[in-house]
Chain A
Amino acid sequence: MQKNVLALVSLVLCIWVLNVSAQTKSTEKKEFKFGKVLPTEFNAKATGKDSSAAAIKLFDVGNCYFDISPTSGGFIYVFERHIRYKILNKNGYDLANFKIELYKSSNSSKEDLNYMDAATYNMVDGKMVTSKLNKDAKFTEEFNKNYVFKKFALPNVKEGSIIEFKYKIKSDFIFTLRGWRFQTDIPTLYSEYNVSIPEYLSYKTDLSGYYAITHTLHQSESATYVNGVASNAMHDQYTAENVPALKDEAFITTLDDYIPKITFELQATRFPNQMHQDYTGTWPKIITSLSTDENFGAFINKSGYAKAVLPEILKGEKDTLACIKLIYNYVKNNIKWNDDYSKYATVTNPKAVFDKKTGSSADINLSLLSLLKEAKIPAYPVLISTRDNGAHPGYPIISKFDNVIAISMVGNKTYFMDATDKDLPLGMVDYENLSHQGFYVDLKNIAGNWISTEPEYAREKIFNYNLTLDKENKLTGQISQYAKGYAALGLRNSYRKTNNETEFLKNFKKDKTGLELSNYKIEHLDELDEILTESMSVVIEDNVEEAGNLVYFNPLLYEKTKENIFKYEERKFPVDFAHPIKESYRITLKFPEDYEIDKLPKSAAYKLPDDNGTFTITYLTEGKMLMVKSTININKSLYSPEEYFDLKALFNTIVEKQAEQIVFKKKV
C-alpha cells in the first residue's frame, strides 16, 4: 500500500523535475499596450500539431498586487489581466464573447469589476480598423446570491481578426488570490503572471501541471500602501512561452491536474505592532485550527445526540468491529447525502444533521465520527481531495481538500468509512475519493499524516455460462454472474435506481441480442460484505450461425471485449483507472452428438512486465463438452504514459483472441 503512494509521488516529481531542468531561456522585458497592435501580429500562425487551431492566444498577461480598501482600511488585492487573441477561423468566434465571474459573500465583502476595455482589430486594405466594445454589448447577470457574471460581446469579428480584452478586478477576498493557468485549448504564444505581495503578508504558492513554467523574477520592490509608511513588496513573475493547445484524454482524474498553473493561499500576516499570525503554515497548525473549528473538531465533540441514540444503536454490543458496523449503518440509514462535497460541516451540531436527515459529505462523516467518539471507538477524519478537485500538492495547505471521510483501526486492520452511500461496505472508498492518498488527522494529539487510499477492492466481475447447444442453433441453460468491489457497488446502484426488476431486466437485455431469460434472481443486494450474485435461466438465439455444414459461434457471447479501449497512438498523461479491474468468464457447453469440433483455437496467456496485467484464454473439450475460460486482470490503478503502450498491446490481444470462433462440423 505505502509503496504505491511513493510510486505516485515520484512519478509526478519526475515529470516536474524534467520541466525545471528544461528551463534555460532568459527573458526580455515585454511591453503590452492596449490598442497598440503590431502589423506582424496579424501574421501570427499556429504551427505543428496545432496548425489548424481555431485561434491563437498572442499573449495573456496578469498582474496581482495589493491596495488598501478605502472602506474597511484593510488589504484588498487588485487583479489586472490583458489578453489578446488572433482568430484564425470561425470556430474561434466564441472567444469574442467574454465572461468574468465575480464573487460576493453574504456579508458586505465582494469583488468589483473596476475597469474593462475590449476591442476588435481588422486589417482592411492594408489598414488596421478598430472596433471598440459597444456600451450595449455589456451585460450583468446575477447568477445567484454569491456570483455575478459580467459578459461582453465584441463587434465585427471575422476570420483573421485580432481581439483584445483588458480588465481590472478589486477583491476583498485575500485568503486565496486569483491563480493563473498557462495553457488552454488553443496554442499560447506568451503567458505571464506577476504577483506583488506586501511584506506584511506571506502566501503559499503552488505550481503544478505538465508543462514548464519559468520563474523569471523574484525581487523585493518598494511599495507604498499607507501614506508616509515606507514598505516593500515581493514581486514574483512566472512565464511560459509557445505553449501548445491542451487536449483531453480518457482515464484521467481531471484535466485541471495537467494544466500548468499557479495558485496562492494566505500563510501568515505580520503587521507592524501586531502579533505574527499564522494561517496555515504547518500541519500541526492546520490540525489545531481544525480541532477547535465549530464546523469540524467542535462539531465532532458535541456529544448530545450521540449520548441519546447510542444505547439504542449498540444495545450492549461490546465487540469493537460490530459496534463500528452498527454505528456506520445507523448513520447511512438515517442521513441522505445531498450530493455536495465539503470538508467542513454546514451546521455546528450533529443533531441538526440528523434532524434534517440530509447533509453534505462533511455533515455526514463528521456526525459519524461524533458517534464513534462517544462510543469510545478510536476513529479519525481523513481529508481528501476528490478526483474532480484535482491532486493535492502534498504540503500543508487546507484549501486544496474538498472532502472528508473517516478511518478506524481495529486490531491491525484499518477501515475506511464514508457514510454518504448506503451501498459502500465498511472499508471501501468511493470512486470519486480514489485520488491515491488522503490526510489522516488525529485531533486529540494534534498529529496527522498522509495515508494511502489505494483500494483493496477491484472492479471485479465473474461470469459463468452453463449452456447446451441444440440443432436449431439455440443455446439453453444457466447464467450466473458475480460482482465484487466496485462492480458490486455499481450494480447495486443501478438496480436500486431502476423502477422495478422488469425494467432492470429490460436494460440488462438491451445490448444482448437474442437473449431471453427467466427465473432471474439477485442475491445479497443488502449484504454488502457478500458477493453480489445474479442467476438466471436463459435461451439464446441469433448467436450461433450456420454456413453450409459448418456451425460456428463466438464462445465469449455477450462478454466479448469488442474493441480496444486504448485506441490512440500516443499518451501524454498517466492512465488513472482509480482501482484495479478483474474480469473472468467461463462457459461450459454441451453440444449435439453428431457435431464434431473442427479444430479448437489455441489456448494462450499474456503478461505485462511486473505482473501489471494479465490475460489468459483456455479451450478444453471432452466428449461433447466444451469449456472456454478467459481471464483479464488489470492489477494497478495507475499506469504511467509509457506503460500505456503495454496496456494497448494487451487489449489488442484480448480483442483478437476473444473474437475467435468455435467451429463445429455437422456429420452428414
Chain B
Amino acid sequence: MKNLLSLFLLVSFFYTTSAQGIYDVAKIPENLKKDAIAVVRNEEQFFDIKSIGSAQYEYKIAITVLNKAGDDLAEMAEVYDNFSNISNIKAAMYDAAGKKIRDYKSSDIRDQLASDGFSLFQDNRVKLLKFISNSYPYTIEYSFTQNFNGLLNLPSWRAIKGFDISVEQSAYTIQKNKFYQLRYLTSTDLKTDSVTIGDKVKYSWKSNNVQAVTREPMAVGVDNISAWVKASPNEFEFDNTTGNFNNWKNFGAWIYKLNEGGNRLPDVTRALLQKLVKDAKTPKEKIQILYNYLQQNTRYVSVQLGVGGFRPILAEKVAQVNYGDCKALSNYMKALLNEVGISSNLIVIGNGMPSLNQNYSSIGQANHMILCVPLPKDTTYLECTSQYKPMGFIGYDNADRNVLMITDAGGKIVHTPAYSAKDNYQIRKTKINFSEDGIADISIKSLYGNAQFEDNFTMLLKEPIEQRKILIERNDIPGAELTTFKYEQVNRNLPVMTEEINLKSNQILTKGGDRFFLMLNQVNRKESIPPKVENRKTYFAVPFSYTDEDEITYALPNGFKVEFIPKDIAINSEFGSYTAKFTSKDNIIVYTRTQMMNDKKYPPEKYNEYVDFYKKIYQADKQKAVLAKAP
C-alpha cells in the first residue's frame, strides 16, 4: 500500500512538471545548445502497417528554435497525395519557459499543390504552416495522422535534420502483423528493438542527446554521423497493382509487368521507321537514325499520377502525341528499336543520386528511366528525354552507377559507363597580343569534352544576344570589351563543342610605378580557397573529375623587357595534380597550366590536406611576371 502511494505521488509529480513546461529551454542540456540553431526536443514517428496495402502514420515533433538562424525550422510542410490523407493536425507554440502561447487553428494551415518544379501535372499536395515568433528562443510543436491507401514505401527516419541542429530525443517505431514482410537498413551501431506481442511485431529505434555539427564545406551529408533507418515492404499493393520488392529481380519484374503490351506502334509509324532505316547497314547506324528521329520529333512533358509515376504511357500513344516523360520516351524508343529488330532494355536509375544498393531493393533509390541497347561488345545507353544529347552520351548524372536493367526475367543490377577525368576535358589556347599603345587583342579558343561539354552545352542553344550577355557577365579579364564569339558543335553525334571568344582590353597590365605587372593566368584561375575545418565530422566530395589544359601565349608590346618570370610549379596529391610552366623569349611569354581532379568521396580527416592542395593552386594561379620599359 505504501509503495503504491509513493508511486502515485511520483506520477502526479511528473504530471505537474510537464504541465508547467516540458519545453522549458532551461531543461535543454548545455551540450545540445552548443553550436545549435535549433534543438529537436522530441520526435516520434509511429508507422502502423494495418495490411499489405494500408497503414496509419502518427507523427509528432517539437523543436526549440534558439536564434534567428533557426527560423527556417519553424515550419510544418507535410506532403500527401491521392493515396494518403493528412488529418488531426495539432500545432502550438511555446515561449522560452515552455509556456504555451498559442494554439493554431485549422484555418491557419494552408493546403496547396506541392510543385516538383518540372512536372506539367502531378498529384502531390502539401499542408503548410509557418510558425512566427518575435522572441528567441521559442518552441514549436505539431502532430498529425496520415492514412495510407497503397504502400510502395515505408517512411525513413534520420535523427539529425541537418547541420547546426541537435537532438534531445527522436524515435521511430514500425508496427506490423507478424506475417507482413519488410526489410530495413540502419546506420552502423544503431540498435533495433524488436518486440512481439500476440500477432503484432514492433521494431523501434531511437537516438538521444546528439550534439549539433557545424556546417562543413563540400559535405556529402550527415548520414555518417546520424542514426537513420530506411525500410521497404516486400509484397505490396498500390493503385490496383501488386508486386514484391524483396529483391531487385522481383522489383524489375513488377516494372516489366506494368510495361507489358506497351510496345505496339501504329502502322503509319512502323512503315515510316522501315523507310528510315532501309539504307542503314549496321545496328549502330539504325540506332543513330532512330535516336535522331526521337530527338527531332518528341519533347519532354512530365505527368505523374499514382502508378502512372512508374508505368510508361503506351508507345502507341506517344506516337500520336510525340511527347512524354522519361518512362514514356524510353519505352517509345524501345518500341522504335524493336520495330527494326533491335532489342533493348529499360533502365531504372537514380539520376544525380547514389548507386542502387545491390543488397537492398526499394523504390526510393531511383527517380529516372533511360534505355540500354546491348550490342555485342558495344552496349549503348540512351537518354531519351534530351532533344540534344549526342547518341550514347548519358551525362554525368547518369554515369558510373549501379542501375536496374528491366528484362523479361526480372530486374538485374548493371553499371553505367563512367567519364574519367581525362574524358571531361577543357583544352584552351589563348593568344594575347599587345599593340604599341598597350591594348591587348585576346583570342581564346576552347574545346570542351563530355562532362565539361555538358556544363557548357546550354550556350549552344542560346540566342547570340543572350550568349553575349553571359560572356560579358562571366568575363573576368579586367577592362575587356567583347568583340566576337562563336559556339559550335562540329559533330552532333559527339559530346564535344568549341568556343571562340575575342576580346580587347587595355587593363591587362597593371601599373606599379614605372613597372607593369602581368597576371599570367588570365583565363582559368582558382579565386578562393575553401576554409579549414578543425575536427571535421562528415565526408566530403569533389563534385566531378576533370582535366583542364591551358596554354597562353603573350606577345608583349615593343620596348618592354621581362624583368621577372616565376619558376615552374608542380603539385601532386591524391586529389589531383597541377602544373604551371612559364617561359619567356624575346617578347614572347608562354604560360602552360594543367589541372586534373578526381571525383571521389574522401573521409573527414583528409579535408585539411585538400585545403592545402587547393591553396597551393590558388597561389600558383596568381603568379605574375614583371615587365619594365626597355631603356
Q: Is A115 an interface position by the 8 A CB rule?
A: no
CA distance A496 to B134 in the complex (A): 13
The residue from A52, A503, A552 contacting B464, defined by CB atoms under 8 A apart: A52
Q: Is A559 an interface position by the 8 A CB rule?
A: no
Q: Is B548 an interface position by the 8 A CB rule?
A: no
CA distance A151 to B123 in the complex (A): 13
A-binding segment of B237-245, B373-381, B509-517, B598-606:
B509-517
Q: Is B476 an interface position by the 8 A CB rule?
A: yes
A-binding segment of B51-59, B150-158, B186-194, B293-301:
B293-301
From B388, which residue of chain A is reached at the shortest CB distance? A90
From B318, which residue of chain A is reached at the shortest CB distance? A155
Q: How far is the CB of B387 from chain A (nearest CB, A)?
A: 5
CA distance A568 to B464 in the complex (A): 14
B214 touches A503 (CB 8 A): yes
A499 contacts across to B, CB distance below 8 A: 35-37, 67, 69-70, 164
CA distance A569 to B468 in the complex (A): 10
With a 10 A CB-CB cut-off, give which of A54, A141, A159 has the most chain B CB atoms: A141
A144 touches B110 (CB 8 A): yes
A568 touches B531 (CB 8 A): no
Q: Is B473 an interface position by the 8 A CB rule?
A: yes
B387 contacts across to A, CB distance below 8 A: 90, 93
CA distance A247 to B464 in the complex (A): 13
B472 contacts across to A, CB distance below 8 A: 567-568
- A656 touching B299 in the complex, CB below 8 Å, given contacts A506-B531, A547-B564, A601-B513: no
Q: Is B618 an interface position by the 8 A CB rule?
A: yes
CA distance A158 to B299 in the complex (A): 8
Q: Is B461 an interface position by the 8 A CB rule?
A: yes
How many chain-A residues does the 8 Å CB contact rule pick out?
73
From A98, which residue of chain B is reached at the shortest CB distance? B120
B69 touches A661 (CB 8 A): no
A-binding segment of B20-28, B320-328, B415-423, B571-579:
B320-328
A601 touches B301 (CB 8 A): no
Q: Is A473 an interface position by the 8 A CB rule?
A: no
- A139 touching B121 in the complex, CB below 8 Å, given contacts A155-B322, A499-B164, A599-B513: yes
From A248, which residue of chain B is reached at the shortest CB distance? B469
Q: Is B492 an interface position by the 8 A CB rule?
A: no
CA distance A356 to B130 in the complex (A): 13
A2 contacts across to B, CB distance below 8 A: none
The residue from B323, B478, B513, B618 contacting A600, defined by CB atoms under 8 A apart: B513
Q: For window 46-101 of chain A, which residues contact chain B by CB distance below 8 Å?
A: 49-50, 52-54, 89-91, 93, 96-97
Q: Is A667 an interface position by the 8 A CB rule?
A: no
Interface of B is mostly: mixed
B511 contacts across to A, CB distance below 8 A: 601, 660-661
Q: Is B507 an interface position by the 8 A CB rule?
A: yes
Q: Is A500 an interface position by the 8 A CB rule?
A: yes
Q: Is B569 an interface position by the 8 A CB rule?
A: no
The residue from A142, A542, A663 contacting B113, defined by CB atoms under 8 A apart: A142
CA distance A54 to B478 in the complex (A): 33
Q: For window 55-114 of chain B, which residues contact chain A by CB distance below 8 Å?
A: 67-70, 101-102, 110-113
CA distance A569 to B566 in the complex (A): 36
Q: How far is the CB of A183 from chain B (nearest CB, A)?
A: 16
B515 touches A338 (CB 8 A): no
Q: Is A659 an interface position by the 8 A CB rule?
A: yes
Q: How far is the CB of B107 from chain A (nearest CB, A)?
A: 10
Q: Is B624 an interface position by the 8 A CB rule?
A: yes
From B473, which residue of chain A is reached at the shortest CB distance? A567
Q: Is B479 an interface position by the 8 A CB rule?
A: yes
Q: For window 460-480 of chain B, which residues contact chain A by CB distance below 8 Å?
A: 461, 463-465, 469, 472-473, 475-476, 478-479
Q: For window 1-58 of chain A, which residues contact chain B by CB distance below 8 Å?
A: 49-50, 52-54
Q: For window 497-546 of chain B, which residues contact chain A by CB distance below 8 Å?
A: 507, 510-515, 517, 528-529, 531
The residue from B321, B478, B481, B619 contacting A656, defined by CB atoms under 8 A apart: B478
A511 contacts across to B, CB distance below 8 A: 528
From A145, which residue of chain B is reached at the shortest CB distance? B111
B622 contacts across to A, CB distance below 8 A: 545
From B507, which residue of chain A is reached at the shortest CB distance? A656
Q: Is B276 an interface position by the 8 A CB rule?
A: no
The residue from B111, B296, B478 contacting A655, defined by CB atoms under 8 A apart: B478
Q: Is B363 an interface position by the 8 A CB rule?
A: no
CA distance A155 to B303 in the complex (A): 14
Q: For window 531-587 of chain A, which residues contact chain B by CB distance below 8 Å?
A: 542, 545, 547-548, 550, 552, 562-563, 567-569
B465 touches A247 (CB 8 A): yes
Interface size class of B (residues with CB under 8 A): 35 or more
Q: For window 8-57 of chain B, which residues contact chain A by CB distance below 8 Å?
A: 35-37
B112 touches A143 (CB 8 A): yes
Q: Is A598 an interface position by the 8 A CB rule?
A: yes
Q: Is B407 an interface position by the 8 A CB rule?
A: no
- A661 touching B134 in the complex, CB below 8 Å, given contacts A144-B111, A155-B321: no
B-binding segment of A203-211, A328-336, A445-453:
A328-336
Q: How far is the CB of A244 from chain B (nearest CB, A)?
A: 10
CA distance A76 to B172 in the complex (A): 55
B514 contacts across to A, CB distance below 8 A: 598-599
A459 contacts across to B, CB distance below 8 A: none
Q: For window 435-479 of chain B, which residues contact chain A by CB distance below 8 Å?
A: 461, 463-465, 469, 472-473, 475-476, 478-479
- A550 touching B69 in the complex, CB below 8 Å, given contacts A141-B121, A144-B111, A336-B133: no
Q: Is B563 an interface position by the 8 A CB rule?
A: yes
Q: Is B132 an interface position by the 8 A CB rule?
A: yes
From A337, which residue of chain B is reached at the shortest CB distance? B132
A659 touches B321 (CB 8 A): no
Q: How far is the CB of B75 from chain A (nearest CB, A)?
A: 12
Q: Is B626 an interface position by the 8 A CB rule?
A: yes
CA distance A333 to B622 in the complex (A): 49
Q: Is A157 an interface position by the 8 A CB rule?
A: yes
A158 touches B69 (CB 8 A): no
From B122, which residue of chain A is reached at the shortest CB distance? A141
CA distance A511 to B622 in the complex (A): 15
A661 touches B512 (CB 8 A): yes
Q: Is A510 an interface position by the 8 A CB rule?
A: yes
Per-residue contact bits, chain A 583-605, to B (CB 8 Å; 1 contact, 0 not): 00000000000000111110000
Q: How far is the CB of B80 from chain A (nearest CB, A)?
A: 13
A93 touches B517 (CB 8 A): no
A335 touches B134 (CB 8 A): yes
CA distance A144 to B120 in the complex (A): 17
Q: For window 549-585 of chain B, which residues contact chain A by CB distance below 8 Å?
A: 563-564, 566
Q: Is A509 an interface position by the 8 A CB rule?
A: yes
CA distance A503 to B69 in the complex (A): 11
- A563 touching B478 in the complex, CB below 8 Å, given contacts A52-B464, A144-B110, A144-B111: yes
Q: How far is the CB of A43 from chain B (nearest CB, A)?
A: 20
Q: For window 81-129 of chain A, which residues contact chain B by CB distance below 8 Å?
A: 89-91, 93, 96-97
Q: How far is the CB of A274 from chain B (nearest CB, A)?
A: 37
B301 touches A97 (CB 8 A): yes
Q: How far is the CB of B318 from chain A (nearest CB, A)?
A: 10
Give me 11 other A-B pairs in contact (C-beta within 8 A), A547-B566, A552-B512 excluded. Answer: A52-B465, A141-B121, A149-B113, A151-B120, A158-B322, A338-B130, A500-B67, A548-B564, A569-B481, A599-B513, A652-B479
Top-6 shortest CB links A-B: A599-B513, A661-B512, A155-B321, A336-B134, A547-B564, A144-B112
- A sample of 5 inter-chain contacts (CB < 8 A) reads A50-B465, A153-B120, A506-B531, A510-B528, A601-B511
List residues of B whose CB falls within 8 A of some A CB.
Answer: 35-37, 67-70, 101-102, 110-113, 120-121, 130, 132-134, 164, 214-215, 296-297, 299, 301, 303, 320-323, 387-388, 461, 463-465, 469, 472-473, 475-476, 478-479, 481, 507, 510-515, 517, 528-529, 531, 563-564, 566, 618-619, 622, 624-626
List residues of A whose CB falls within 8 A of some B CB.
Answer: 49-50, 52-54, 89-91, 93, 96-97, 131, 134, 137, 139, 141-145, 149, 151, 153, 155-159, 247, 333-336, 338, 356-358, 496-500, 502-503, 506, 509-511, 513, 542, 545, 547-548, 550, 552, 562-563, 567-569, 597-601, 652, 655-656, 659-663
